[in-house]
Amino acid sequence: MGLLFDFLKGKKNTEPTLSAYAQGTVVPMEEIPDQVFSQGIMGFCCGIEPTDGKVYAPADGTISQTTDTLHAVGLAVDGMELLIHAGVDTVEMNGAGFTNAVQEGQAVKKGDLLLTMDLEQVRAAGHGTVVILAVTNSDDFAAVELMASGKVSVGDGLMNVRK
């Protein structure tokens, strides 16, 4: 009744929405070239094939994890546990071509820079460059849905997560 009451009063539904975290083209979960992600083993996810190597926060939250290999960042956002993974099998690069812009425990706002990757260096090492966003605790939510397709800009609506 609360959502209906809010609707009748003209209030918008405040369910969390995750924004595009990179400039590029959306890659649906089943098309991500890594079976751990494409089969949903890490939770519901999607990818963005980036046009540049900058990766941004998809929402306001707190950095829950960084990696020594600089290719991934964990983010806690309003009950969601997010993993942003830059590239495919890039852990093998041991940080070469990646720069981390955040630290564990740091609060970030939607659109803050999280990491950068040198796309040419990643490709030269034989790895894909798709940047993956996984809601690793997606089973805790009623629905996690991809809302975008095609080309996106940083900040565009990407995923809807309903409690």
Looking at the annotation, which residues are catalytic? 85
Q: Minimal CA–CA distance to 101: which of 89, 93, 109? A: 109
21 CB-near residues (< 8 Å, 6+ apart)? 48, 55, 56, 57, 58, 84, 114, 131, 133, 154, 158
Phi, psi of 3 (to 5 degrees): -65, -40
Tokens of 152: 């996106």
How far apart (Å, rounded) are the C-alpha atoms in residues 131 and 88?
8
Tokens of 46: 């999607």
Looking up tokens 């089973």 gives: 139
